[in-house]
Each structure stands twice: as structure tokens, then as C-alpha cells.
Amino acid sequence: MTREPEVFPPDWADAWGDDGYGLWAEFVVRDVRQRMRWIEPGTFWMGSPANEPGRFEDEGPRHRVTISKGFWLADTACTQALWTAVTGSNPSRFNDDPLCPVEQVSFDDVQTFLAALRLVGVDGDAELPTEAQWEYACRAGTDTPFHFGAMITPQWVNYDGNYPYNGGAKGEYRQRTVPVKALPANRWGLYQMHGNVWEWCRDGWREYQDRDEPDPEGPQGGASRAARGGSWLDFAQFARCAFRSRNVRGRRIHFLGFRFALRSSAE
């Protein structure tokens, strides 16, 4: 496995570089700039250990997962600014700041958005990450409940601070979304993988198995899709790396958004 993507810079990029987080590339749609981060291939422990506080049964058995191919992942949840630049509309409830994440978008709405990226000049193949890719990126090489470690506070994550994690102190409850870069990024340069809005994943529900899994993916059919990350109105325990949720693919609600992956059409 190599650090470099097969195609660099990717053909959709308007700018690119390397910084303390790793490789990045950006594209622009109607003056709205989106940065993508290169996520290297690798192996990690997916799910939670049996002794993790706040754990649910569907987070196990914990198992080794290999992500065999690297991918470009948006460094933030999709903003209202980018959604509006691509679609001409903004469905969000908290619509007073274009740098807040778009919400009230269904899984099917997101598929329409991703297809429309090509129509506005982004020459790449856009898709949602799988649940395994999402957790791998969220953890960013860590194996703790949060990529920050064993504890979070509202200074780092936008969740309901009235319901802290594992005996932690209570904190602020903002009662809404915040701008996508308002709180710290993980060590791979990805902002707010915990909290703010739940993020749609590409696949449906997969039952974990006690074995090594290469590039696991849940079913593509059916009425529901996985969602990850927790949101502004959730308890802290729901923002853990391993916590799993699912939603009917047509659901539109003010705590559900997405971030997307993108690859060069030449790859």
C-alpha cells in the first residue's frame, strides 16, 4: 500500500497540496470551494470492544477491516453553500449561515446531488462512503470511543451537553447546527465527524461477523441506509466512532446530512 493516490492531482481538482494532515485537493463550484482529503488504504478495528461505556450490541463483534483502496473524502459535511451552488435550492431548517451543513436531505436527494456535480463541471465520480470507510476515516488511526480519546466535551463536538459521556461534566447545548469548520478536525483533517449532523452512508445494514473483512459493504437494496456520527440534538454516547444508526432512505430531518467521497474518472 502506498501513500500516494494513483492519480495526483485528480482531474477534478482546481488546487492541491500537502500539509500537516496529508494530501488535499479542492474543486470550485460557482465560487464555493470544497476541500477533499486523501484517505490512505489501511486496516483498523471496526466496532467497539465489549467494555466500551455506552456500547450497543450491534457494534460487535469488533473485527479487523481492511480498506484496500484509498479514497478522497470531503473534509466537512456538505455545506448549504455547496448544495445551493449545485442545486439552486436550500432545504435546511437552520438556513441562516451558508457554512452550516445542509440538512433535511434524504438519501435519494443526496444521490441526485452527487449526479449533478458532473453537470456543474466536477469531472469525477462522487459517492457516499460505505459505513466501513466512514468509521475508518472518523477514527483516523485511533481505537478510542472518540478520535479525541476516551472523552468529549461541547468545546470539541456539537451535541446535547446535558447528556455527557461516561460521567463527564455537563456542558453547552447549542440546540442547532454550527458551521462545518467551527470545531476541531481529527488528525486526518476531517471536521466534525462527531456531532453536528448525522451523515448518510452508501450501504444498508450489515451484521458484523467475528472475522477479518476486506472492504465490507452492507446491502444496496432495501428501504434504509446506515448513518453515522451523531448530531447536535443527541446524547454524547451516540457520537462515538462505533455507534451505528440507520434511517429510511426517503427521510428528511433537521439533524441528517452527509459528506461525500470523490475519485478521478481516470482511476
Structural domain count of the chain: 1
Is 102 in contact with 78 (CB distance < 8 Å)?
yes
Residue 32, in any domain of the structure? yes
The reported pLDDT for the residue numbered 24 is: 98
The reported pLDDT for the residue numbered 133 is: 98
The reported pLDDT for the residue numbered 4 is: 76
Terminus-to-terminus CA distance in the chain, angstroms? 16
Pick the closest to residue 52 from 134, 130, 151 (CA basis): 151
Q: What backbone phi and psi angles, to 5 degrees, belong to 28? A: -130, 130
The reported pLDDT for the residue numbered 234 is: 98
Q: What backbone phi and psi angles, to 5 degrees, belong to 38? A: -80, 120
Is 107 in contact with 250 (CB distance < 8 Å)?
yes
The reported pLDDT for the residue numbered 1 is: 39
Q: For residue 246, what are the domain limits?
A: 22-264
Residue 2, in any domain of the structure? no
The reported pLDDT for the residue numbered 123 is: 87
Residue 61, in any domain of the structure? yes
Residue 247, in any domain of the structure? yes
Residue 1, in any domain of the structure? no
Residue 255, in any domain of the structure? yes
Read off the CATH number of the domain in which 215 is found. Answer: 3.90.1580.10
On whether the pTM is more than 0.95, the answer is yes
Q: Are strands 198-200 and 256-257 parallel, antiparallel or unpaired?
A: parallel
For residue 145, cis peptide bond before it (omega within 30 degrees of 0): no
Pick the closest to residue 249 from 125, 129, 109, 140 (CA basis): 109
- Rounded to whole angstroms, the Cα distance separating 116 from 111 reads 9
> Would you call 69 helix, strand, or coil by DSSP?
coil
Q: Please give the C-alpha separations between residue 205 and each of 49, 70, 132, in angstroms, as whole numbers.
A: 20, 23, 11
Residue 84, in any domain of the structure? yes
Residue 37, in any domain of the structure? yes
- Rounded to whole angstroms, the Cα distance separating 193 from 18 reads 21
The reported pLDDT for the residue numbered 2 is: 46
Residues lower than pLDDT 70 in the chain = 1-3, 264-267
Pick the closest to residue 123 from 7, 4, 3 (CA basis): 7
Please report which helix (H) or strand (E) contains residue 139, including its range. helix 131-139
Is 116 in contact with 86 (CB distance < 8 Å)?
yes
